[in-house]
């Protein structure tokens, strides 16, 4: 079954053609990073207007690259939530319209579920590339149920037990900021580029390389700037706002006296923006602080994921969402799980961040069960995973 997937939940416009929920025929993403970088974050109205400008050319390119025409497609899937309403509306409306015009089944896709399904995707160089085979619910190379998934994106941080296709149980979630959100806000405080995750990772790598070059101990990462970890013991929940505030206070201390005090109350966001500009000139060691922050996030995510995997006796752990692209997190989780013989899988970096291939994959597994959406489906900006129960 060939599915056209469409993704437009935030600042990326994506279209992809995927066969049987796994085999990638094309994947096109138009990113707005350069536009939003000017503002240090996503501006919703700018994002939705840009979606409008990009969506048709992106879909046409995806069809072209997959060398397929409308008559070859079996269905259309598009994200209907969660995300920014204006951005979601563009992809959902175009997806439904194309389904109507070409008389194809339509499926609205949950963006978070799609991040999990990125783990089913494979490219032509994958040893499990067998697109000719008759492929139903299970094929060699698919993740094994029951599995644990660490979903870490810009707006969500969740530990989810997945018993089978569509059966999700929430083990824990963030009480405040999502991991990606913390990366983005801390990057802004430190004057690093948007999106914060890759910038902080790069700065942390610079710090590590510098320590190595000068023969200093790696332990300096945690002893120079002592940052807190919210363990929230007895739960699989997370909290990153205290950590974010600790970095803010360090940066504030370092820049005190350097910038004129602003009269009146300031919002958190304007505080971050002004801080980001000034820390560059402060005595703060930005790469070392970035490394220290990254390690604090990774510590909590990796240890809690390992504990949940042990308690629920899963054989496999999946990573999903933009923060799953983080190399330090991947390495640390691998170290936690290997001694327990628990397999760790994560999508290639391009499928961790927002893309439409994962949308097509998730759509396929729903279509396989005969699911369809009516064409009056509306966007749901606050959509969550369809949890069966909270354990």
Q: Which residues bind Zn ion (CB under 5 A)?
A: 153, 354
Three-state secondary structure call for residue 246: helix
User: x-or-dash pattern for ligand KG4, window 142-181, by CB under 6 A?
Assistant: -----------xxx------------------------x-
Which of 364, 374, 379 has the alpha carbon at shortest distance from 1? Answer: 364
- 36/96 with CB nearer ligand KG4: 36
Classified as helix, coil or strand, 29 is: strand
With b for 16 or more beta-carbon neighbours within 10 A and e for fewer, the 370-386 pattern comes to eeebeeebebbeebbbe
How many residues interact with ligand KG4 (rule CB under 6 A)?
A: 20
Q: Is 87 in the site for ligand KG4 (CB under 6 A)?
A: no
Contact between 184 and ligand KG4 per CB under 6 A: yes
Of 118 and 317, nearer to Zn ion (C-beta) is 118
Among 195, 276, 287, 347, interactor with ligand KG4 by CB under 6 A: 195
| Residues of span 197-226 touching ligand KG4 by CB under 6 A | 197-198, 201
Q: Which of 40, 86, 196, 347 binds ligand KG4 (CB under 6 A)?
A: 196
Q: Does 79 participate in binding ligand KG4 (rule CB under 6 A)? A: no
- DSSP states along 281-321: TSS--HHHHHHHHHHHHHHHHHHHHHHHHHHTT-SEEEEES
In the complex with Zn ion, which residue's Cβ is closer, 289 or 320?
320
- Give the whole-angstrom CA distance, residue 290 versus residue 295: 9
Name which of residues 3 to 22 contact ligand KG4 (CB under 6 A).
10
In 3D space, the residue among 45, 118, 116, 105 whose CA is nearest the CA of residue 78 turns out to be 105
User: Is there a contact between 65 and 26 (Cβ–Cβ < 8 Å)?
Assistant: yes
Q: Which residues inside 336-365 make contact with ligand KG4, applying CB under 6 A? A: 353-354
| Minimum CB distance to Zn ion smaller for 13 or for 153 | 153
Based on CB atoms, which residue is closest to ligand KG4, 114 or 254? Answer: 114
Q: How far is the CB of 86 from ligand KG4 (least distance, A)?
A: 16
Cβ pair 307, 301 in contact under 8 A: no
Residue with CB nearest ligand KG4? 197
Give the whole-angstrom CA distance, residue 347 versus residue 345.
7
Cβ proximity of 48 and 86 under 8 Å: yes
Question: Footprint of ligand KG4 on this chain (CB under 6 A)?
Answer: 10, 115, 153-155, 180, 183-184, 195-198, 201, 321-323, 325-326, 353-354
């Amino acid at each position: 079954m060939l599915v056209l997937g469409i993704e437009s939940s935030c600042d990326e416009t994506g279209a992809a053609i995927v066969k049987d929920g796994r085999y990638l025929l094309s994947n096109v993403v138009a990113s707005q990073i350069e536009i939003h970088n000017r503002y240090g974050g996503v501006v919703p109205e700018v994002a939705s207007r840009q979606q409008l400008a990009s969506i048709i050319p992106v879909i046409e390119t995806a069809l072209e690259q997959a060398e397929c025409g409308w008559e070859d497609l079996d269905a259309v899937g598009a994200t209907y939530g969660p995300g920014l309403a204006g951005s979601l509306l563009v992809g959902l409306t175009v997806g439904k319209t194309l389904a109507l015009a070409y008389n194809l089944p339509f499926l609205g896709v949950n963006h978070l579920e799609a991040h999990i399904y990125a783990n089913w995707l494979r490219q032509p160089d994958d040893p499990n590339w067998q697109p000719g085979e008759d492929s139903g619910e299970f094929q060699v190379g698919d993740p094994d149920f029951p599995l644990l998934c660490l979903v870490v994106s810009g707006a969500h941080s969740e530990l989810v037990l997945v018993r089978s296709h569509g059966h999700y149980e929430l083990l824990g979630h963030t009480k405040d900021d999502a991991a990606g959100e913390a990366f983005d806000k801390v990057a802004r405080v430190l004057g690093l580029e948007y999106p914060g995750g890759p910038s902080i990772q790069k700065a942390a790598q610079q710090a590590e390389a510098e320590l190595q070059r000068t023969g200093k101990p790696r332990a300096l990462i945690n002893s120079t700037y002592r940052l807190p970890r919210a363990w929230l013991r007895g739960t699989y929940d997370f909290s990153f706002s205290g950590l974010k505030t600790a970095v803010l206070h360090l940066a504030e201390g370092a820049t005190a006296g350097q910038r004129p005090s602003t009269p009146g109350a300031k919002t958190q966001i304007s505080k971050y923006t002004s801080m980001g500009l000034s820390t560059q000139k402060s005595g703060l060691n930005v790469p070392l602080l970035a490394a220290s922050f990254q390690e604090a996030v990774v510590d909590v995510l990796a240890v809690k994921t390992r504990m949940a995997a042990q308690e629920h006796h899963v054989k496999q752990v999946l990573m999903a969402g933009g923060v799953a692209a983080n190399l330090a997190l991947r390495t640390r989780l691998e170290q936690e799980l290997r001694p327990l013989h628990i397999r760790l899988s994560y999508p290639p970096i391009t499928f961790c961040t927002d893309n439409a291939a994962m949308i097509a994959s998730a759509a396929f597994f729903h279509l396989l069960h005969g699911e369809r959406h009516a064409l009056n489906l509306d966007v749901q900006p606050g959509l969550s995973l369809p949890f069966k129960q909270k354990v």
